[in-house]
Amino acid sequence: MRLACYENCLRLFHAYADSAPLWERALLSAYVGIGPPVARLLGGNTGTVWQQAESIITDLFAVSELTPKGVVGALRCYTKLRREAAQHLPFEQACEHIYDQSFYPLVTHFTFAFQSSAMARLRFVRRIAAAMAFSEAIVVDLGCGSGVMLAEVLQAKAGWTGFGLDISRASVAYARRLAEHKRVGRRSHFQRCNIADLPFVTGSVDLVIASEVIEHLPEPRAALTEIARVLAPGGFLVLTVPVESHTPAHMNSLTNEAEFNALCREAGLSVQSLSSKWHLTFGDDPRHLFAVAQLDKGSEPAADSVYSLPPPQISSAASSGIVSS
């Protein structure tokens, strides 16, 4: 397979190789040289994978305004932290050492280029959003990170309005720049927010994306209850979560599907589909749940409290952090 056309991917690989020890360079060479033919033997479409990676890395360079060497340096800050930190950092330490660091949105953006589970999560969200028939809708991306998922959804759905929420100031600023770069800035709004206290009125959100977020929270049940509160009747929650996670930034870890189903029931959510997938990628949790949920019929808010359109009302305390359209 010819890789010369994937210019920005190769620029990043070369920068990584220049600063990597010999064993890491050997692994990188194996990934580039052996990975594509092995993937083809297993039925994978390597052309599509490389095209997506090139698109992601091109956006990453444009939004970060860093050189390939600068991007590699930022990524190495995170990998060093993962090696040295305890398995689960206290929330305050996670904020200080991870979420409030400039490398954090770069890491979350980069994963969509070469991490198989992140690619699968992005395809999953795209598929669910594409299947929704609403010509106009409100979509909220909780723990939006770099803003990749929200930008992808808004590009595909021209009549939708999006809100990206994250605890990380660096991520909020980065996601705003990415939305402008992807030409969806006028339909997207970003702010720093605690997911356990969402700034939306009851029943106002048509699609909630919670991809790799509830494991970062000390009380996932409270977050799911709050999601159920803001979800509109007929709306959808699209959620992914690692199982048996050992990542330092993760405050809790689910052990199986039954535990996840129980959390959703207690929050007033009905799981419509649930699958478990394995992804053997360096630096990632090996197994993830992919779920779609809706409100339990008995949990739907009263009609006079539902606001489907126009966009959700934002509390006055939170509105100052939202980009005006």
Percent of the chain with pLDDT over 70: 77
Cβ pair 276, 257 in contact under 8 A: yes
- What residue ranges define each of the domains in the chain, with the CATH number in brackets? 7-114 (no CATH), 116-319 (3.40.50.150)
- Token pair for 282: 């360096």
Higher pLDDT, 293 or 296: 293
Model confidence at 29, pLDDT cuts 50, 70, 90, reads: low
- pLDDT computed for residue 272 by the predictor: 95
What is the model's pLDDT at position 250?
66
Strand duo 287-295 + 231-243: pairing: antiparallel
Question: How much is the mean pLDDT over the chain?
Answer: 82
306 Cβ neighbours under 8 A, 6+ residues apart: 202, 203, 204, 232, 233
Task: Give the whole-angstrom CA distance, residue 102 versus residue 80.
Answer: 15
Q: Is the pLDDT of residue 301 over 70?
A: no
DSSP 8-state code for residue 110: H
pLDDT band at 323 (very low <50, low <70, confident <90, very high): very low
Identify which of 3, 120, 84 has the alpha carbon closest to the alpha carbon of residue 51.
3
The model's pLDDT over 80-124, given as tens digits with 9 standing for 90+, comes to 877 776 666 777 887 888 888 999 999 999 999 988 889 999 999
* Beta strands per DSSP E along 77-131: none
Check pLDDT > 50 for residue 27: yes
More confident residue, 156 or 213: 156
pLDDT digit string, tens, across residues 234-280: 999 999 988 876 666 666 667 788 888 998 999 999 999 999 887 76
Q: What pLDDT does 282 receive? A: 55
Confidence bin at 311 (pLDDT 50/70/90) = very low
pLDDT of residue 302: 47
Single out the residue of 128, 129, 121, 126 nearest to residue 145, CA to CA.
121
Q: Is the CB of residue 190 less than 8 Å from the CB of residue 172?
A: yes
- Say if residue 227's pLDDT is above 90: yes
Kindly give, in sequence order, each residue whose CB lies less than 8 Å from that of residue 315, ignoring residues fewer than 6 positions away.
Answer: 199
Q: How far apart are CA 289 and CA 291, in angstroms?
A: 6
Token output for 155: 């590009």
Mean of pLDDT values over 55-63: 97
SS3 315: coil
pLDDT-based confidence at residue 322 (cuts at 50, 70, 90): very low
Q: Which of 8-12, 190-194, 316-320 has the lowest mean pLDDT?
A: 316-320
pLDDT at 67 over 70: yes
pLDDT of residue 242: 83
Instruction: Report percent pLDDT > 90 for the chain.
Output: 49
**27-31, 39-43, 88-92, 165-169: which has the highest mean pLDDT?**
165-169
Three-class SS state of 310? coil
C-alpha 37: how far from its chain's center? 29
Distance (Å, whole) CA 256 – CA 98:
27
Separation between Cα atoms, residue 289 and residue 172, nearest integer Å: 26
Angstrom CA distances, 151 to 103, 135, 173, stand at: 20, 17, 14
